Structures are given as C-alpha cells and as structure tokens.
Amino acid sequence: MSFVWTIAEQYDGHLKAVSFELLSRGRALADKLETKLASVLIGDGVTEEQMEELIRHGADEVYSVQDPRLARFVCESYSNVLSHLIKTYRPSIILAAATSTGRTLMPHVAVRVHTGLTADCTELDIEEGTGNLLQTRPAIGGNIMATIKTPDHRPQMATVRPKSSRPLPEDPSRTGKIIAVPVDDAHIDTRITVTGYRTDVEDFVNIEEAEMVAAGGRGMKKAENFALLRGIAEEFSGVVGASRDAVDRGWIGYPHQIGLSGKTISPRLYIGAGISGSIQHLAGIKTSETIVSINTDPEASLHKVADFGIVGDLFEVLPELKRRLAERNRTEDPRQEANR
C-alpha cells in the first residue's frame, strides 16, 4: 500500500515534465514517513516504457488508468476515476501540479472525497509527532506565507507549481510495480465532449512551464521591441513574458501576462526589462529562483527584489547581452553554428 501519491499528467500519450517534478517532492515526503510513493496516471496511450521512467525517477508504484475515453482531460471523468482510486486505496497524501488540469481536477475531487486541498504550495514538510503534512503557500499577493494542514481528513492534498521543484536524477537500478486499473464505464462522464485542440496559435506560450522567462513592461515602448526579449529568451531556450501594462497596450498577447491577473511563474531565471515592478507583477514572479532586473530607474521596485539589477537603458543592455550570450552559445556548441 502506498501512502504518498503524485498525479502524473500526460498529453497525447506523452508524460509531461511536471509528472517527474512532483515525484521529487513526493519522494522526500515518503522517505520521511518511511512509506511508499505511487504515481497515478489517468489518460491513454502512455507506454510501459514511459511508466518505467516514473519508477526510475522515484515512484515505487504506478497506478495506470488508461482508456481512449480518458485520452483528453475532462474533469468529471478524471474526478470519478481519482475519487474511486482514493476510496479504494486510501492514500495519506496526494500531490498534483498547479496546472490547468491539476487546478481543475483537485478541487473537484476534494469535494467528492470530503478533504482539504491547499493550492500552489512552495514548501511541503511532515510535522514532527503527528506525521501531518505541512503545506506552505504564498497568499495575499505573496505578502504572507501561510502554513496549512488538514488534520482530520484524508488524503491531505496539495498542488505544487510547475518548475518549483526539479526532477530527481534517473536511477536505472530502481524497480517498482505498474498496476493497471480497469476503467469502470460508470466513471466516464459523457456530458462534456472535447471536440479538439487549437495548438497552432500564433505567438502562444506556456509560460508557467518555462525554465527561463524574459519579460518586458511599459519600458519596452512598442510591440516591435519585444524582439529584443525574444532574442534573449532564445539564448536560454526560454520564453517571453510581459507585465499587465504591456499586454493592455496590445504589445503582446494575454498568455504572456505575468502577475495577479496573469500567470504566476517559478522559472530558474527571470529577466525583467522595463518593468517597474508593481505589487501585482511581483506577486507573479516572487517564487522565481533567480530574478534579474534591467531598468533606467534606480528606484524601480523590481530592482529591490532582484538578485541582480542593472540600472541602465534596456535598449543598450539587451543588445549587448544578446551579443555576448550568442557568442558564448556559438562557441559552446558547434552544431548550433551549423544551424544558423
């Protein structure tokens, strides 16, 4: 019996990176509790080899619930399946990703199984003595850190932001069990139909799962200047983000927006250029691992929360930074050279 579960996510039969990130969180908790860690995979077309990868990254067991009718995320069906698994196997802790799927599925399940759920935890720990899960999350725009527990209900459930933890290195010696769970027809909800996906959206970005984000604000002055940020992002295999100001001016699309009315991100590196750093924007970037700020105004709030700030003109700093990074990346990898 496994006491700690993580919810693996898949798209189109491929496991998503968050599935592995969650395992490193789950492994730490399972080890502390001296219990097993299982990954729950609901979907379709995920191969045994891929599930073995979950085991090599920390899982002891994989519950695989696969069916063509579960290929695409439909909250009601996934909720029926997961609620049933919970009632059958009674895990103590469940961790899910704070993705569009996790943030939809988990509150739906919490109601069904009558338990608590804490969103967007940045820290998870086990309370001495009780063995309760301590769930710490930023709230009120990141102004406070609240530690929350679910003392009297099980499972204890939490979501964790993508990129806020790194997967464990692959351990080829790890072994585990893959348990195929048959799908009960009664769990498939046919009310909603997924008619398709629109994935060829121009300038679309999955900003929450990016390792690096180069963001621009009002100081970018116009839409065309975002090319400077694209140039920087490219050198880190990152993506471009924006403040609300820049989005509201129509310089870049809403999927790029960071902050209270946009996305909250936790990349390894965030570079903000021409962003003053409103409370709303800072709330969206506070959990980034490294923050770099570029702004002509020495008093800009972003400089105050930055790990490294440059008081200077972004139109001079960004091209110089791009030139230097491109030069380094060219000498790093001759294959890149051949591609240019």
Partner 1 sequence: MDIIVPIKQVPETSNVKMDPETGTMLRAGVETVVNPLDLYAIETAIRLKELHGGTVTAVTMGPPPAEKALREAIAMGCDTGVLISDRKFGGADTWATSYTIAQAIRAIGPYDLIIAGERATDGDTAQVGPGIASWLDIPLATYVAAITAVEPGSSGTGSSSAPDASGALIVERLVEEGYQILKVPMPALLTVVKEIASPRLPTLRGKKRAKATELPLYNTENMDLDPAFLGLKGSPTKVVKIATPRVTRGGTVVHAGDEEGVVTAVDQLIAFLESRGLVPAAGASTGGRP
CB nearer partner 1, residue 144 or residue 186: 144
Region from 23-31, 45-53, 151-159, 170-178 binding partner 1, contact rule CB under 8 A: 151-159
Does residue 147 belong to the site contacting partner 1 (CB under 8 A)? Answer: yes
Binding mask 66-105 for partner 1 (x = CB under 8 A): ------xx-xx--x-------------------xxx-xxx
Angle in degrees, 0-180, between the axes of helices 75-89 and 102-113, rounded to the nearest 10 = 50
Closest CA to 116 of 153, 161, 79, 147: 153
CB nearer partner 1, residue 24 or residue 329: 329
Closest CA to 138 of 117, 161, 115: 161
Amino acid at 93: I
Radius of gyration over every alpha carbon of the chain, rounded to an integer in angstroms: 22
Does residue 26 belong to the site contacting partner 1 (CB under 8 A)? Answer: no
Q: Does the N-terminal peptide bond of residue 298 adopt cis geometry, omega within 30 degrees of 0?
A: no
Q: Cα 319 to the chain's mean position, in Å?
A: 30
Does residue 236 belong to the site contacting partner 1 (CB under 8 A)? Answer: yes
What is the rounded distance in angstroms from the CA atom of residue 176 to the CA atom of residue 198?
37
What is the rounded distance in angstroms from the CA atom of residue 192 to the CA atom of residue 80?
14
Q: Which of 71, 148, 179, 326 binds partner 1 (CB under 8 A)?
A: 148
CB nearer partner 1, residue 223 or residue 254: 254
Does residue 285 belong to the site contacting partner 1 (CB under 8 A)? Answer: no
Find the binding residues for partner 1 in span 179-208 (CB under 8 A).
189, 191-201, 204, 206, 208
Does residue 40 belong to the site contacting partner 1 (CB under 8 A)? Answer: no
CB 83 within 8 A of CB 113: yes
Does residue 214 belong to the site contacting partner 1 (CB under 8 A)? Answer: no
Q: Which of 120, 176, 216, 229 binds partner 1 (CB under 8 A)?
A: 120
Q: Which of 87, 290, 297, 337 binds partner 1 (CB under 8 A)?
A: 290
What is the rounded distance in angstroms from the CA atom of residue 18 to the CA atom of residue 7?
9
Total Cβ atoms within 10 A of residue 263 = 21
Region from 60-68, 176-184, 216-224, 299-307 binding partner 1, contact rule CB under 8 A: 299-307
